[in-house]
Amino acid sequence: MQSAILMNYGFAPESFTVKVFGNGLINHTWKVYHEGREYILQRINDQVFKNPMDIANNVEQIATYLKQHHPDYFFVAPVKTIEEKGIIYIEGEGYFRMFPFVKGSHAKDVVETPNEAFEAAAQFGRFTKVLEGFSINQLKSPIPDFHNISLRHQQFLTALKHGNKNRIREAGALSAELLNYAGIVTDYENIISDHRFKKRVTHHDTKISNVLFDDSGKGLCVIDLDTLMPGYFISDVGDMMRTYLSPVSEEEMDFSKIIIRDDFFKAIAIGYYGEMKEVLTQIEKKYFFYAGTFMIYMQAIRFLTDYFNDDSYYGSKYPGQNLVRAGNQAILLKRLLEKKDTLSSINL
């Protein structure tokens, strides 16, 4: 299979080695070694990304814009195939694309220090900032309504009605708890009807492993532009809060370990504002804290919806994994809301 893919890049059979790489839930990733160079190869999950060519379009448009307007901005463009394509389709195998592995860079799976949170937030902020002049109409949405929390909420209600009966019974208390947060959905609906909330080039997957760091720990660039599409800044800032604030991830089963680290919140705010302070509107800034509640709540209901739908989207490695993830995110949301007053009053 790998030969069939890599020959499109001009790699002769037997001239390369391939190792599994990374731990995303959606795409498969490998590291490829070929003639002293290293690459990252990915198979795009076409159940999730129904039109993988939309991703290729977006990356191409962005790359062209950046080359013209911000030639110094460090952007990792995909390796082109012999036929000059950014993504290839292999019959029976799926869609693939490959990137050069950035020498001297490393990615992290877990945020360990506030400085890492700061560096990542600065990188995601800078990314949206350098693309401020880019017309978002040129972008496709590879997953339409990806962060439309009204729709996610609707899907949750539908799953609660028509999903796996035993699972719905088992998770009754958690469902009831999550249904209490309808205000988060209403806030979103107000946001999208307010023209002062701008649609911008948004990454939509700001976990730490989507930032490359250099050896000294400085952020180099953002990667993984699959979910790049027009969106609101709350998606990017919110997913950083969701994934950097607690010392444990969405997979943690011991919920007592889920805590909110104030200094990491501050680091995200300083890092992001350092780039975006002049770009964000006054009203957007008022929703900075809200971003975290928005993303955590949406993730909680997405996991629970999937649990009720027999894990058809996220899959599961053990029975009840998506229930654990949903419960974990519900606690994270609670812990964050407990700190609303303290965290919203941080002066920047």
Answer yes or no whether residue 309 interacts with ligand GN1 by CB under 6 A.
no
Residue 311 touches Mg ion, criterion: CB under 5 A: no
Taking the C-alpha atoms of residue 255 and residue 241, their distance in angstroms, rounded to an integer, is 17
- Give the residue from 293, 199, 278 showing the smallest Cα distance to 239: 293
Kindly state the smallest distance separating residue 172's Cβ from Mg ion, in Å: 32
The answer to whether the CB of 50 falls within 8 A of the CB of 144 is no
Give the DSSP letter of residue 209: G
Per CB under 6 A, the segment of 23-31, 184-192, 194-202, 280-288 that binds ligand GN1 is 23-31
Site string for Mg ion, 212-231 (x = CB under 5 A): ------------x-------
Q: CA 296, 301, 306, 308 torsion: positive or negative?
A: positive
**184 to 223: interface string for ligand GN1, x by CB under 6 A:** ---------------------x------------------
**Contacts for 146 with CB less than 8 Å, ≥ 6 apart:** 204, 227, 229, 231
**Which positions from 135 to 154 touch ligand GN1 by CB under 6 A, shown as an x/- string?**
--------x-----------
Taking the least distance from each CB to Mg ion, the nearer of 175 and 202 is: 202
Q: Which of residues 31-70 bind ligand GN1 (CB under 6 A)?
A: 48
Is residue 120 within 8 Å of residue 240, measured between CB atoms? yes
Q: Take residue 243 and report the two structure tokens written for it.
A: 């994934």
Which of the ranges 19-27, 66-74, 213-221, 272-280 carries the binding residues for ligand GN1, by CB under 6 A? 19-27
Closest CA to 177 of 338, 330, 337: 330
Residues 247-266 that bind ligand GN1 (CB under 6 A): 250
Residues that bind ligand GN1 (CB under 6 A): 24-26, 48, 143, 205, 227, 250, 299
